[in-house]
Amino acid sequence: MNQLEQLKQYTTVVADTGDFQSIKAYTPQDATTNPSLILKAVQKPEYRPLLEKAIADAPHASIDEIVDNLLIGFGVEILKFVPGRVSTEIDAALSFDTEATVAKGRELIALYEKAGVSRERVLIKIASTWEGIRAAEVLEKEGIHCNLTLLFSLCQAIACADAGVQLISPFVGRIYDWYKKSTGTDYQGADDPGVQSVKRIYQYYRTFGYKTEVMGASFRNTSQIQELAGCDLLTISPDLLQKLADSDAPLERKLVAEAQAGLEKITMDEKTFRFMLNEDAMGTEKLAEGIRAFVADSIKLKQMIATMR
């Protein structure tokens, strides 16, 4: 078996792309999208018709409504190629507005259900701010499952699990980027700070019996993926999926679902969350940077729609 096939023995493989052809080629269980991936996809000729349809089908709609229709259009198409779930992201501009995030989550699920897709096949992606986590807690109680993204710190992971969130996406590569830039060290294998962060979260969840799924995300190389074999899920870009498929080297399970002695349970409230995140320079900076980047790409997408109407 190649490394991708070996990985699928231990971990649910998720495609991190809006490109249907890539999804079809690697037969993942689930797929994830975000504003940057959707913006990249609609600039390709083969996906332009989805954007044109979203605009044509709602001539009197606001640009925000057209964006929602476009996101659902991509999600519906992606679900034709995966047997599991698709993650659809809420506008990152709402990252600090609990009520607006809840309302948008309900709207997106309603659009999916109108298109004939059950809510069990959709994860609503929300930034792992305190306000985003509180919104996810409300949505989960309504049977709207969430994927908490832009997650860099243990405090975010604990707050998500306490809120009963379905799934979290700790960003391995962006953590690695920060430490590489900060220290000048090109971390390898198990020494990678991004890998270590996901292992710490995974062990914490298993030790204290949390059911929230851990999905490593934002990979820079196959070594990071190999070190996290055994994680609940890993969402991987098409280029790295191809590199795994091209290698026949042995791939062993590194993460095992078992409790770890000596771990102390942390009681997470808003004050503790904000203080712990503040003390984590990497987590604070990467969360803010990630929100800014997703907002910028959302604005570009809206500007593209405005010029086409």
In the predicted structure, residue 97 carries a pLDDT above the cut 90? yes
Average pLDDT, integer, range 13-25: 93
**Alpha helices, H only, the chain:** 3-10, 20-26, 35-42, 48-56, 63-78, 98-114, 130-141, 154-162, 172-183, 193-207, 222-227, 238-245, 270-279, 281-308
Task: Judge whether 125 counts as a catalytic residue.
Answer: yes
pLDDT for 252: 97
CA distances from 288 to 52, 106, 135 (A): 32, 25, 18
pLDDT for 90: 96
Left (φ > 0), alpha (ψ -120 to 50) or beta: where does 154 sit? alpha
| Ordered structural domains, the chain, with CATH | 3-308 (3.20.20.70)
- Within 13 A of 128's CA, how many CA atoms are on the CB side? 32
pLDDT level of residue 269 (50, 70, 90 thresholds)? very high
* Average pLDDT value over all residues in the chain: 96
pLDDT level of residue 21 (50, 70, 90 thresholds)? confident
Cα separation of 200 and 196, whole Å?
A: 6
Residue with tokens 């080629």: 25
In the predicted structure, residue 35 carries a pLDDT above the cut 90? no
Which of the residues 53, 114, 125, 254 is marked catalytic? 125
In the predicted structure, residue 85 carries a pLDDT above the cut 90? yes
pLDDT for 278: 98
Average pLDDT, integer, range 228-248: 98
Average pLDDT, integer, range 197-214: 98
pLDDT for 78: 95
Helix (H) / strand (E) element for 87: namely: strand 86-89
Going by C-beta distance under 8 Å and a sequence separation of 6 or more, which residues neighbour residue 64?
91, 302
